[in-house]
Structure 1
Amino acid sequence: MASAVAAQVQSNPASAPQLQRGIVKMVLSGCAVIVRGQPRGGPPPERQINLSNIRAGALARRAVQGQTDTKDTPDEPWAFQAREFLRKKVIGKEVCFTVENKTPQGREYGMVYLGKDTSGENIAESLVTEGLATVRREGIRGNNPEQARLCDLEDQAKAAKKGLWTEGGGAHTVRELKYTIENPRNFVDSLHQKPVNAIIEHVRDGCIVRALLLPDYYLVTVMLSGIKCPTFKRDADGSETPEPFSAEAKFFTESRLLQRDVQIILESCPNQVILGTILHPNGNITELLLKEGFARCVDWSMAVYTQGAEKLRAAERSAKEHKVRIWKDYVAPTANLDQKDRQFVAKVMQVVNADAIVVKLNSGEHKTIHLSSIRPPRLEGEVQDKDKRFRPLYDIPYMFEAREFLRKKLIGKKVNVTVDYIRAATSAMETGGVPAFPERTCATVTIGGINIAEALVSKGLATVIRYRQDDDQRSSHYDELLAAEARAIKNGKGLHSKKEVPIHRVADISGETQKAKQFLPFLQRAGRSEAVVEYVFSGSRLKLYMPKETCLITFLLAGIECPRGSRNMPSGMQVAEPYSEEATIFTKELVLQREVEVEVESMDKAGNFIGWLHIEGVNLSVALVDNALSKVHFTAERSSYYKTLLSAEETARQRKEKVSLVEIQHPDVDVFLNTSLKFTDLAGKCDGLHGDVHFFVILICAGTKLESLMESMRGEIAAQPLVEGSFTPRRGDFCIAKFGDGEWYRARIEKVESPAKVHVYYIDYGNREILSSTRLAALSPAFSTRTLPPQATEYTFAFIQVPQDEDARTDAVDSVVRDIQNTQCLLNVEYSGIVCPHVTLQFADSKDDVGLGLVKEGLVMVDVRKEKHLQKMVSDKHAHTSNTRTQIVRVEPLVR
């Protein structure tokens, strides 16, 4: 089809007018139309054509705002009917036209025909025939057959009394236009969101139109609910600057809705702006704008959209995926994630907060997941009681209820996780001094088809985060969250309730010896009590919440000896015993945040309760022993569970699972790989009344790694010499220190008396030394404890007591130094101690027991142990005890 509008040819009275074609965009009145061409890469050109030789009535016009000398003018009789007749006939249709005359002011007059040629219906003739227009008879040219035909048609209309020629003058055809509504909010509410017939009179931009509501002739401005299109920004000088794709969005709406018969659902009226949805027989313009990339969803008006907000989100999502128009540079928040990382099934292990959980993936990895787009309860204002220790779980209103809801709903169950976005880590500088947050994985978590975040919000136990309009990092079900929050607010639930907030008075008696003593008889008489495991310190040490007693206690598992984890001691960091981490993980996965039953038998000196813990019929002490993660303690003999524990231990021995805990064995242990480091500072530490001989060892299997790390570290120091005095020592920091041999070793600072007196501990060899800060330097991350953990492990001899007499203890230490320093030995952990594990040592070549040799020499005595499985070893050592000076010296101080 030729574009008649694009090829603008001046009419020449001397020649026949050229036939041109176009599409009717708008009918201005009964005798004027706007014709546009076909769009080619953007909005097409357009021109106004006035029908030659006829005149129709003028439509109503509103007074210019702010000008007092103008006033509203009403319709002329039959003006609106003429416009409507013409609108229904030609709007949006293809026409052909000729331009017969053009005035000096640029107005063009011509004849318009429906269709592609002049054989179609002549629009002017149709108007005159219906009596909706009059013929301009002044200056009639006799040789113009078209004018003569119009006059004949007008005479026929007069004779038939049609339209303008009916009796009465047509006063009943004048509309009573209403440009304003006194109370628009009540007006919208009165319609009850029922569709209203309307004609779109003007398109401001892609999402704002001026509509004529029928049959009452209200002329209102309607903004499409739920979306926003690019618009035309008005500058200070009054000119307009179009945003990208604003003209295209406007044309998209115009070409489909302008002067069409539609239905409008008026949905809301906030701030005098009427929000609505325009329905056309060919579809919903709101969804079409989104799908074609001409609009984006907006949260503030999405809530009132009655056709289903999920449809709008789906349309916007389609445009984003295809990167059309305003989304041409769009990058999805999870674009860099694999499909398996975007959606997965996992088991919930812990509820960290009211908006975060820890899940276990199929790979065994634990991952923290934050619920997308919600905020947990938070404290408004400051904590009232400054003397009281602030506990967020109990002191923040509804935090406990939110945590409990998630715990009961999720803990130990499998959930579906769909990652919505990854919230990047923030530094303190970015947050204006607020503590930094690590990277967060934010996702929608569902179980049994229920969105957990939505359920939490609907109960008033969380609120929905409000985002900037251009922030795309939000939940994929954000609208459901907003709707759930609206319901919670309406029903006054949880955080939105006007009632007094619930108060949780929970007494924490962990470590409170006096309170624990008072509470002990009550728990002993209670038998089995209900509890919730709040925290797992180690495989056998837990923190429990007793709901009936509303208190927190520290609980130790009875009847077993579980490997200890690493901990800070006065002498430095105590290295974790083998399999302590596995025992802790086992206990966490079995009981953390589960509802359990406990039997309290006794308490220790620190105010910790000791007893048995049951979960779903399983005794946790027995389960740890059965899984070779703990040994039976002699104190279990008087318990009714003793036989069960022994049976479990025997089963574990037969399976030989993790035998290094049932019968802990570390073959090939080398003591002090670096012979230049001295041993003297490591021996003779006192433990209780009698001293123990402590020593440090390095596993041979780790020795090569340590040597490699040392070589690399020293090579880097040689290549980039250190600046003396540039390091400021602080207690607890890791560093490198120059030993007496002139070499650098990894160390930890234990105490800083002054720059000249810094106490350091060599973490890979066990030595301690006091150095000047000039012999210290920062430890490079490449050689940190994350790269290679500290290699020096502290042990002491099992079944041995060292005499209190100083001379006798010195003899024992000297013998140990002489026999095992820098010697390859075999090591076996027999039982745990307060400071470190107790072991037996054998020479690698002769297999002789080092401790037994000390007993035979009379340098030490045998330590009596009550555990039945250790009695044979104790008896063997007693059999070799000789009546020597050591025994005499050892006993003499006790007699005094």
Structure 2
Amino acid sequence: MASAVAAQVQSSPASAPQLQRGIVKMVLSGCAVIVRGQPRGGPPPERQINLSNVRAGALARRAVQGQPDTKDTPDEPWAFQAREFLRKKVIGKEVCFTVENKTPQGREYGMVYLGKDTSGENIAESLVTEGLATVRREGIRGNNPEQARLCDLEDQAKAAKKGLWSEGGGAHTIRDLKYTIENPRNFVDSLHQKPVNAIIEHVRDGCIVRALLLPDYYLVTVMLSGVKCPTFKREADGSETPEPFSAEAKFFTESRLLQRDVQIILESCPNQVILGTILHPNGNITELLLKEGFARCVDWSMAVYTQGAEKLRAAERSAKERKVRIWKDYVAPTANLDQKDRQFVAKVMQVMNADAIVVKLNSGEHKTIHLSSIRPPRLEGEEKNKDKDKRFRPLYDIPYMFEAREFLRKKLIGKKVNVTVDYIRAATSAMETGGVPAFPERTCATVTIGGINIAEALISKGLATVIRYRQDDDQRSSHYDELLAAEARAIKNGKGLHSKKEVPIHRVADISGETQKAKQFLPFLQRAGRSEAVVEYVFSGSRLKLYMPKETCLITFLLAGIECPRGSRNMPGGMQVAEPYSEEATFFTKELVLQRELWANYEEKPKEEVAQLTEEKERVAKYRAVYVTEITDGLHFYAQDVETGTKLESLMESMRGEIAAQPPVEGSFSPRRGDFCIAKFGDGEWYRARIEKVESPAKVHVYYIDYGNREILSSTRLAALPPAFSTRTLPPQATEYAFAFIQVPQDDDARTDAVDSVVRDIQNTQCLLNVEYSGIVCPHVTLQFADSKDDVGLGLVKEGLVMVDVRKEKHLQKMVTEYLNGQESAKSARLNIWRYGDFRDDDAVEFGYRR
């Protein structure tokens, strides 16, 4: 056939139709396709090509809404099968085509071939061969060999009773299309967020598609969860005005998903709008749109996104940093700050409020930091108008304000924290706030201590709420989604501000400014002896205001026996000038005692005990049962606490049950270093893991957090860790340890002998463990066999497999002596590393040890 076409082209070059190329964007029916060109700076041109001389059945059409004289029309027999045959064959692929005829109405008819030239598969012939299209014989010219071949192929299909020519008329091939769902919310809930096979039939804009759900043929509109793309605004006259990058976003989604086989996770249905995530073997379109700057994150729908909201934020952050597309003019909230001003470690000196602290920088400067995106407790509605005549004290009179302040004070005061500045809130004037007092400029940041986000902890206890922002407001916490999730948990559990119980009331007597009350209260305090108190305020170096929790009162307290310089103050005759060094004295006292608990847990020790404080304590042996799960080549080992073993077993059983009920979609997980996930081990079971390195999708380094072993896997054997089984539910169960009092051989052979011995003796067995001292990487411990109570490390020394690491701590000397005696025994017997007899330190280095 190809040679015949070539001959025809050569014999009559003037009349031969021109060969053109393109990409198939869409298959309209079994005999019509839309072909597009290559994009150059925007969506490419496109044209509809109808196959010459063949006809496939018409697909179903829905009645035009608002026109009562129209009605739904069903598929013609074999129409959908013809469309599907053609779709699977050509969608998204390069084809070449000729236009043989063009009607006055502009419809173009021609031949379409797979590939770059006419040697590829002739699409019309393939359809006719399968009995999925009929030949329009009235237009056939006898002298045209291609048209004659179509007639021959149709006759062969008839003889073979294929497709349209099969017995029965094809009624079974007509779909029962469902254009509406009676109760969309119940429909979505019934799927339990399981992936549903689907075909994307239409792309309205970058994040809204029309999908055909299989196998039941529901035609539904799906909006991508968590994102919003630029759209086409409909004007009053019916025209559409595109927002910047709306056409590009639509093409981005169309070129990847239109008429592709996908899986959709239907996640929610608020207000009759179905939200979902579309998964394609080549990736997650939601994350791709964000990464390429075609979409922005949307808070209201991100809450239902099941694939990990942090991935969407990271993708959006990447686009912002690269300033692509909709972010081309983006300026980061902290763009004007140096790196040292964006992230730093500081010491907490004061808790100003339930959302603000004062920290001391390394430079000695004090700086006020506001916790990003949270709102402290406040009075609402009628509460604001109560007790107007009463002296208002926010700390004690606003419900949960005192609890919030105390939570921060006990957690943070005097401790070092990590501060990451999220944004700088500009100062507001009284005019801008409608007469409300102005706010100065605020530095808003995420503050963590020991890996814990303080704002998240505060919200999870119901002691603060999350600020809601306009969608285009980028000045928010870098962990905003975690804050929203924490608030949802607090609401669900009825914590703090969300509790239905009576709010706590703090009746605090302030006698700090009333001389008569103070005199009446003094004898009571004197009889009490020593009392606990919190320093609420520092007036000067020697003058303090104390809160006494047991007595529920505020008092002024002066340090006996000293007097510090006074600061400036208003006097009847005018402002009194501060005395020299008054400010320095005040700062000195503030750093020592402000918001600290005075005399808390204080016990005066006898003099003889004080004299012994510098002496070394005795070694304490508190052995606990552990299960050794992994031995490393460096002679470290990983162990699980036997006490929590049942919790791990229960978690694994529940997790595997959920995975079996809702298997992960292969290839839907995009691994990133540091992410927690689940990984399929060699035994075919799923385990919790952490990603340590990503070389490529085929080489992902994972660490099994509950067992300590490591493995390199393909990303297809990884999936997202279900939130119910995260490390918050149960911390990683494998802990790394090193043997105390021994040196690990540097020589490969010697080290291998020692490791083999340990693997043989203790791997996958229960032992007893005691922490002896800390190390740079992990704790150093002694390990005993559960039955004999023999020391495993000492056994290695006695067998001559390792040398002793001599420790200098006094309380460890008894153990060190025992180990050295064991080493002498191995030397005498010339075991393993000592087989050449007693040797000097220089020789020890040669045999793989370092002193």
Distance 1:186 1:368, change over 3 A: same
Q: Cα deviations across residues 830-877 of structure 1 (Å, max 9, x unaligned)?
A: 99999999999999999999999999999999999999999999999x
- Alpha-carbon distance in 1 for matches of 2:362, 2:135: 85
CA contact 2:49–2:109 (8 Å) conserved in 1:
yes
Q: Cα deviations across residues 573-600 of structure 1 (Å, max 9, x unaligned)?
A: 2222222111111111111111xxxxxx
CA contact 1:194–1:265 (8 Å) conserved in 2:
yes
- Alpha-carbon distance in 1 for matches of 2:50, 2:374: 59
Look up the SS of the partner of 1:635 in the other structure: coil
Among 747, 750, 769, the alignment partner of 1:805 is 747
Q: Which runs of 4+ in 1 moved over 6 A?
A: 1-14, 612-616, 627-651, 702-876
After TM superposition, give the deviation of residue 762 of structure 1 in Å: 76
Greater CA drift, 411-420 or 541-550: 541-550
Distance 1:540 1:18, change over 3 A: same
After TM superposition, give the deviation of residue 809 of structure 1 in Å: 96
- Alpha-carbon distance in 1 for matches of 2:775, 2:129: 113
How many residues align? The count is 800
Identity %: 94
- Alpha-carbon distance in 2 for matches of 1:535, 1:121: 86
Which residue does the alignment assign to 1:258? 258
- Alpha-carbon distance in 2 for matches of 1:705, 1:515: 57
CA contact 2:201–2:258 (8 Å) conserved in 1:
yes
CA contact 1:559–1:635 (8 Å) conserved in 2:
no
Look up the SS of the partner of 2:233 in the other structure: strand
Q: Cα deviations across residues 331-386 of structure 1 (Å, max 9, x unaligned)?
A: 11111111111100000000000000000001111000000011101101255712
- Alpha-carbon distance in 1 for matches of 2:804, 2:572: 27
After TM superposition, give the deviation of residue 165 of structure 1 in Å: 1.0
Look up the SS of the partner of 2:7 in the other structure: coil
After TM superposition, give the deviation of residue 290 of structure 1 in Å: 0.7
Distance 1:66 1:410, change over 3 A: same
After TM superposition, give the deviation of residue 10 of structure 1 in Å: 19
After TM superposition, give the deviation of residue 430 of structure 1 in Å: 0.6
- Alpha-carbon distance in 2 for matches of 1:124, 1:728: 40
- Alpha-carbon distance in 1 for matches of 2:805, 2:96: 115
TM-score (norm 2): 0.69
Distance 1:459 1:815, change over 3 A: closer
CA contact 2:309–2:481 (8 Å) conserved in 1:
yes
After TM superposition, give the deviation of residue 572 of structure 1 in Å: 2.2
- Alpha-carbon distance in 2 for matches of 1:434, 1:542: 32
After TM superposition, give the deviation of residue 728 of structure 1 in Å: 70
CA contact 2:630–2:763 (8 Å) conserved in 1:
no
Distance 1:838 1:582, change over 3 A: farther
Look up the SS of the partner of 1:430 in the other structure: coil
- Alpha-carbon distance in 2 for matches of 1:126, 1:776: 40
After TM superposition, give the deviation of residue 106 of structure 1 in Å: 0.5
Distance 1:467 1:357, change over 3 A: same
CA contact 2:196–2:265 (8 Å) conserved in 1:
yes
After TM superposition, give the deviation of residue 502 of structure 1 in Å: 1.0
- Alpha-carbon distance in 2 for matches of 1:752, 1:279: 21
Distance 1:860 1:256, change over 3 A: closer
Greater CA drift, 425-434 or 706-715: 706-715
Distance 1:568 1:300, change over 3 A: same
TM-score (norm 1): 0.65
After TM superposition, give the deviation of residue 715 of structure 1 in Å: 87
CA contact 2:230–2:294 (8 Å) conserved in 1:
yes
Distance 1:706 1:630, change over 3 A: farther
After TM superposition, give the deviation of residue 537 of structure 1 in Å: 0.7
- Alpha-carbon distance in 1 for matches of 2:663, 2:135: 104
Which residue does the alignment assign to 1:485? 487
Look up the SS of the partner of 1:736 in the other structure: strand
Which residue does the alignment assign to 1:889? none
Among 539, 544, 565, the alignment partner of 2:546 is 544
- Alpha-carbon distance in 2 for matches of 1:162, 1:757: 47
- Alpha-carbon distance in 1 for matches of 2:12, 2:684: 106
CA contact 2:627–2:766 (8 Å) conserved in 1:
no
Q: Cα deviations across residues 45-70 of structure 1 (Å, max 9, x unaligned)?
A: 00000001111010000001111101
Look up the SS of the partner of 2:340 in the other structure: helix
Look up the SS of the partner of 1:841 in the other structure: strand
CA contact 2:675–2:690 (8 Å) conserved in 1:
yes
Matched, 1:494 2:502: no
Look up the SS of the partner of 2:215 in the other structure: coil
CA contact 2:194–2:662 (8 Å) conserved in 1:
no
CA contact 1:575–1:793 (8 Å) conserved in 2:
no
- Alpha-carbon distance in 1 for matches of 2:494, 2:797: 77
Matched, 1:845 2:787: yes
After TM superposition, give the deviation of residue 517 of structure 1 in Å: 3.1
Distance 1:549 1:420, change over 3 A: same
Distance 1:508 1:765, change over 3 A: farther
Q: Cα deviations across residues 10-49 of structure 1 (Å, max 9, x unaligned)?
A: 9999711111111100000000000001111111100000
After TM superposition, give the deviation of residue 571 of structure 1 in Å: 2.5
Greater CA drift, 770-779 or 400-409: 770-779
CA contact 1:348–1:359 (8 Å) conserved in 2:
yes
- Alpha-carbon distance in 2 for matches of 1:133, 1:725: 37
- Alpha-carbon distance in 2 for matches of 1:68, 1:172: 29
Look up the SS of the partner of 2:600 in the other structure: strand
Higher-Rg structure is: 1
Q: Cα deviations across residues 371-414 of structure 1 (Å, max 9, x unaligned)?
A: 00111011012557122111101111110110011001100000
- Alpha-carbon distance in 2 for matches of 1:764, 1:573: 67
Greater CA drift, 639-648 or 59-68: 639-648
After TM superposition, give the deviation of residue 558 of structure 1 in Å: 1.1
- Alpha-carbon distance in 2 for matches of 1:120, 1:762: 50
Look up the SS of the partner of 1:636 in the other structure: coil
Distance 1:518 1:70, change over 3 A: same
Q: Cα deviations across residues 534-587 of structure 1 (Å, max 9, x unaligned)?
A: 111111111111111111111111121222222222232222222211111111
- Alpha-carbon distance in 1 for matches of 2:651, 2:720: 16
After TM superposition, give the deviation of residue 628 of structure 1 in Å: 29
Among 855, 872, 877, the alignment partner of 2:814 is 872
Which residue does the alignment assign to 2:627? 646
- Alpha-carbon distance in 1 for matches of 2:625, 2:165: 111
Greater CA drift, 109-118 or 640-649: 640-649
- Alpha-carbon distance in 2 for matches of 1:325, 1:459: 40
- Alpha-carbon distance in 2 for matches of 1:226, 1:460: 25
Matched, 1:315 2:315: yes
The two structures, once aligned, show a CA RMSD in angstroms of 28.1
Greater CA drift, 377-386 or 491-500: 377-386
CA contact 1:3–1:20 (8 Å) conserved in 2:
no
Distance 1:7 1:96, change over 3 A: farther
CA contact 2:347–2:415 (8 Å) conserved in 1:
yes
- Alpha-carbon distance in 1 for matches of 2:143, 2:698: 121
- Alpha-carbon distance in 1 for matches of 2:718, 2:261: 85
After TM superposition, give the deviation of residue 281 of structure 1 in Å: 0.4
Look up the SS of the partner of 2:137 in the other structure: coil
Look up the SS of the partner of 1:276 in the other structure: strand
CA contact 2:626–2:769 (8 Å) conserved in 1:
no
Greater CA drift, 810-819 or 532-541: 810-819
After TM superposition, give the deviation of residue 521 of structure 1 in Å: 2.1
- Alpha-carbon distance in 2 for matches of 1:128, 1:741: 49
Which residue does the alignment assign to 2:134? 134
After TM superposition, give the deviation of residue 810 of structure 1 in Å: 100
- Alpha-carbon distance in 1 for matches of 2:75, 2:425: 60
After TM superposition, give the deviation of residue 145 of structure 1 in Å: 1.4
